[in-house]
């Protein structure tokens, strides 16, 4: 019988992080790989990115329409509860040998809970990250890591943070960011973005890529921050390709601001794009601006400057192409001038992306197909028994390597 592997995805962002690996798993004749799809993927408000999954040819186990299309702080939790409740019977009946999930949104703890209670091994990708913000993503990410069987992380900093949380080094692999493989594999589709995407203004000229998502500490002013960014791009006589926000509360305030600029002749607003078109826009942009994790992790692979506005993403590992700035117009204006400065742009031309080399999907694929995760299913590690430093150089009791006098019996 083929090894059954299940991925869980609820939004474009987590799918893009994993799509390269998913495509490899989907064509392996020795595997039965399928995806459980829900959330914003099935919402026309956020671009119906399920079409991207189908275009990639990824087999789908089931779709779950769970997203409550609201702008409240409770809607995400209610939506997640619907997905979890619906997924239990679906996953229990198919009975995969392994569950994969990525990042820090609600799908990671849904996948982790399914794995633990249904006694299925899990792999959490992109754990061990952390920001200075009090965003719910921080504790969700760390909690999902503690509930996960195994971890694939982009950097050694993330590995050390997981060890600090009590995870043994033997459950962690540093493989780089899988998302960078898409940037390495893709070429710009056209010398002018209008040649690839008809809706882009034909005379857009030099432009910035704008990706801004609401952060809890800035919910009340999220729309104002977004307005400041667009006003300053207009002041700098730049065009803008602007992506819609994610499903967090205050996203409607941001969308309302977009409507204020809908008639700008050099501004283009989109809900979702095909991967090649998005990367083409990315590679031809003068810089990326907003607060998306893409600016932190991916912009250095182009390379282009990334202006991170406001509090979101503060404290994360970042290359020297990233400019962290306050959200007032003057700070944004100075950052734009700096990002366009030829001397600064020359200084980042040879930057090495700290998140990887664009060859991570092959490493992750080898790990998935060659590792017997069932042997690691039961986490018996006691944090009080842990000794040694965070680099794993000193002796440490690692229960995954200890022989016990009893053995686990599979559930019938």
Read off the pLDDT of residues 116-126 as tens digits, 9 standing for 90 and up: 999 999 999 99
31, part of any domain = yes
215, part of any domain = yes
Please say whether the beta carbons of 281 and 243 come within 8 A. Answer: no
Helix axis angle, 12-26 to 360-370, nearest 10°: 60
Query: Do 18 and 154 belong to one domain?
Result: yes
Please count the structural domains in the chain.
2
Q: Which residues of the chain have pLDDT under 50?
A: 188-191, 387-389, 394-397, 399-400, 402-412
**Measured between alpha carbons, how far apart are the two ends of the chain, in Å?**
18
Q: What CATH number is associated with residue 82?
A: 3.40.50.2000
Query: Do 209 and 325 belong to one domain?
Result: yes
Q: Which domain holds residue 289?
A: 188-347
Query: Do 93 and 196 belong to one domain?
Result: no
Query: Do 81 and 194 belong to one domain?
Result: no
411, part of any domain = no
Q: What is the mean pLDDT of the chain?
A: 89
Residue environment code for 252-265, b if the CB has 16+ CB neighbours within 10 A, otherwise e: bbbbebbeebeebe
Query: Do 218 and 342 belong to one domain?
Result: yes
Cα(254)–Cα(350) distance, integer angstroms? 35
* 362 three-state secondary structure: helix
* 239 three-state secondary structure: strand
DSSP 113-180: HHHHHTT--EEEESTT---SS--THHHHHHHHHHH-SEEEESSHHHHHHHHHTT--GGGEEE---TTH
Give the neighbor-by-neighbor strand order of the sheet with 306-309.
267-270, 239-243, 207-211, 287-290, 306-309, 322-325
The pLDDT tens digits for 140-184 are 999 999 999 999 999 999 999 999 999 999 999 999 999 999 888
Q: Please give the model's pTM, rounded to 2 decimal places.
A: 0.86
Residue environment code for 12-47, b if the CB has 16+ CB neighbours within 10 A, otherwise e: bbbbbbbbbbbbbbbeeeebbbbbbbbbbbbbeebb
183, part of any domain = no
């Amino acid at each position: 019988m083929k090894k059954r592997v299940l991925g869980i995805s609820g939004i474009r962002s987590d799918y893009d992080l994993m799509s390269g690996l998913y495509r490899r798993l989907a064509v392996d004749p020795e595997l039965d790989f399928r995806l459980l799809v829900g959330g914003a993927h099935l919402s026309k408000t956020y671009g119906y990115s399920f079409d991207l999954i189908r275009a990639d040819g990824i087999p789908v186990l089931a779709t779950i329409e769970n997203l409550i299309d609201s702008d409240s702080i409770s809607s995400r939790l209610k939506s997640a509860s619907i997905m979890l409740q619906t997924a239990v019977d679906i996953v229990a009946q198919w009975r995969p040998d392994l569950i994969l999930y990525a990042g820090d949104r609600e799908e990671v703890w849904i996948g982790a809970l399914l794995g633990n209670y249904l006694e299925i091994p899990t792999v959490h990708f992109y754990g061990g990250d952390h920001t200075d913000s009090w965003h719910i993503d921080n504790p969700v990410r760390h909690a999902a890591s503690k509930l996960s069987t195994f971890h694939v992380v982009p950097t050694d900093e993330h590995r050390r943070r997981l060890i600090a949380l009590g995870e043994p080094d033997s459950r962690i692999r540093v493989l780089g960011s899988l998302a960078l493989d898409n940037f390495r594999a893709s070429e710009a589709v056209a010398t002018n973005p209008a040649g690839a995407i008809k809706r882009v203004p034909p005379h857009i000229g030099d432009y910035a890529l704008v990706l801004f998502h609401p952060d809890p500490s800035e919910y009340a002013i999220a729309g104002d921050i977004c307005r400041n960014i667009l006003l300053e791009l207009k002041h700098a006589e730049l065009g803008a390709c602007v992506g819609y926000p994610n499903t967090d509360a205050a996203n409607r305030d941001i969308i309302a601001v977009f409507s204020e600029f809908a008639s700008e002749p050099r501004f283009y607003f989109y809900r979702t794009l095909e991967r090649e078109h998005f990367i083409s826009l990315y590679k031809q942009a003068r810089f990326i601006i907003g607060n998306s994790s893409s600016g932190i992790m991916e912009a250095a692979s182009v390379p282009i400057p990334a202006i991170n506005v406001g509090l979101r993403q503060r404290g994360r590992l970042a290359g020297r192409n990233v400019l962290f700035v306050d959200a007032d117009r003057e700070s944004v204006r100075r950052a734009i001038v700096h990002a366009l400065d030829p001397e600064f742009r020359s200084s980042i031309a040879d930057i090495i992306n700290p998140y990887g080399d664009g060859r991570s999907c092959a490493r992750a694929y080898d790990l998935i197909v060659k590792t017997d995760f069932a042997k690691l299913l039961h986490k018996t590690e006691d944090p009080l028994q842990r000794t040694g430093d965070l680099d794993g150089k000193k002796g440490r009791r690692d229960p995954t390597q200890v022989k016990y006098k009893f053995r686990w019996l599979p559930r019938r």
